[in-house]
Amino acid sequence: MLILELVAGLAFLVLGGDLLVRGSVGLAERMKISPLLIGIVLVGFGTSTPELMTSLLAALNGSPGIAVGNVIGSNTANILLILGTAAIIFPMKADPKALMRDGLVVSAAALACLALAYLGNVSRLSGGLLVLALTAYLVFTYRAESCQQTPSADMHRAEGEAVTARPWTQSAPVLVALTIGGLIMTMLGAKFLVDSSIVLATRMGIDEAVIGLTVVALGTSLPELVTSVVAALRRQTDIAFGNILGSNIYNIFGILGVAAMVKPIEMPEQILSFDIWVMLAATALLMIFARTGHRICRLEGAALLGLYGLYLGKLALQ
C-alpha cells in the first residue's frame, strides 16, 4: 500500500504538472502574450511545479530533510544523471552567450544555497531574497533575448509555441479546466509523495534527507529527464542543455525561496556535511565540461553518469 501511494504520488505530480503547463500556457497564448515570455516564465514555472508542491508541503509538515533534499537532489540528478544520459545519446552543444549568462546564475544559486546552509536555516527574509533574485534573472533574460535572435531565444520561443500547438487546447473553458485540474493533481501528488516518503523513512530507519535526495528528487525530476532525453534523440541539444540550467536556477531561487517564505526551513546536517558539496562539485564539472568547446561529449556524459552512480552508492551505504 505504501509503495502504491508513492507511485500514485509521482504519477499525479508528473501528469498534473503537464496539465498545468498546457492550461496556463494556453491561456497566456489566448491573451496574446509572446511565445518568448511564455517559454521563459510559464513553462519554467510549470515544469517546476512538482518540485515546488513537494518541497512546500514537506516544509509545512516539518520535514526539512525532504524539502531541502528534494532541491539539492534534483539539482544533482539534473546534471549528473539527466545531462549525462542526454550527452551519451547525443553530445550536448551549448549556446555560448546563454552558457555565460545562465552558467553564472546557476553557479551563483549554488553558492547562495551553500551560504544559507552555513547559516543553519533559510528564513523568510532569505527566501524572499531568493525569489527576488529569480525575478531579476527572468526580467534580464527576457530583455536580453527579446532584443536579439539567439539559439537561447529561439529555444524559449519554441517551448512556448510547442505547448500551445495542439488545437484541442484552444478552448478557454478547457484551458481553465486543465489549469485547475493540473494544480489539484500536483497538490494531491505532493501530499501522497511526502506522506509516503515520511512513513518509508521511519519504517526503514533512515534519515528523511536520504529519501528526499533520492526517491523524491528522482521522482520530481522525471519531467526534466523525459524532456532532455527526447531533445537529445531529436538532436535539439540547446533545449536539453537550457532545460537543465533553467531547472536548477528555478529549484534554488524559486522553489527553496517560496517554500522558505511560507515556512522557514532548517538545513539538515546530513545535507550540509556532504550532499550540498556534491551539488556544488556537479555544477563546477558542468561548467568546466561545457566551457571546453561549449559542448559536453559522450565521454564526459559517461563520466557524469558514473559519478551519479557512485553518489547513489554512497547514500545507500548510510
pLDDT, position 305: 95
Predicted pLDDT of residue 184: 86
Rounded Cα–Cα distance for residues 253 and 231 (Å): 25
CA nearest neighbour of 144 among 92, 105, 93: 105
Q: What is the pLDDT of residue 156?
A: 52
What is the C-alpha to C-alpha distance for residues 272 and 40, in angstroms, rounded to an integer? 31
Residues of the chain with pLDDT under 70: 28, 31-46, 145-170, 293
Assigned fold of 2-316: A middle domain of Talin 1 (1.20.1420)
Q: Is the CB of residue 271 less than 8 Å from the CB of residue 72?
A: yes
Q: What is the pLDDT of residues 290-304, one digit of tens each?
A: 777 677 889 999 999
Mapped onto helix, strand or coil, the DSSP state of residue 2 is helix
Mean pLDDT (the chain) is 82
Q: Give the span between the Cα atoms of 188 and 53, in whole angstroms.
A: 9
How far is 238 from 247, CA to CA, in rounded Å? Answer: 14
Count of C-beta atoms within a 10 Å radius of residue 146: 14
In sequence order, the 6+-apart residues with CB closer than 8 A to the CB of 253 are: 109, 112, 130, 131, 133, 134, 137
Which of the 8 DSSP states describes residue 268? P
Do the beta carbons of residue 41 and residue 138 sit within 8 Å? yes
Q: What is the pTM of this model?
A: 0.85
CB 97 within 8 A of CB 270: no
Residue 273 CA to residue 131 CA, distance in Å, equals 25
Q: What is the pLDDT of residue 165?
A: 47
Q: What pLDDT, in 10s, does the model give residues 243-272? A: 788 889 999 999 999 999 999 999 988 899
SS3 labels along 188-233: HHHHHHHHHHHHHHHHHCCCHHHHHHHHHHHHHCHHHHHHHHHHHH
Give the pLDDT confidence score for residue 114 in this predicted structure.
94
d(CA 190, CA 184): 10
Three-state DSSP class for 181?
Answer: helix
Burial state string for 292-309 with b = 16 or more CB within 10 A and e = fewer than 16: eebbbbeebbebbbebbe
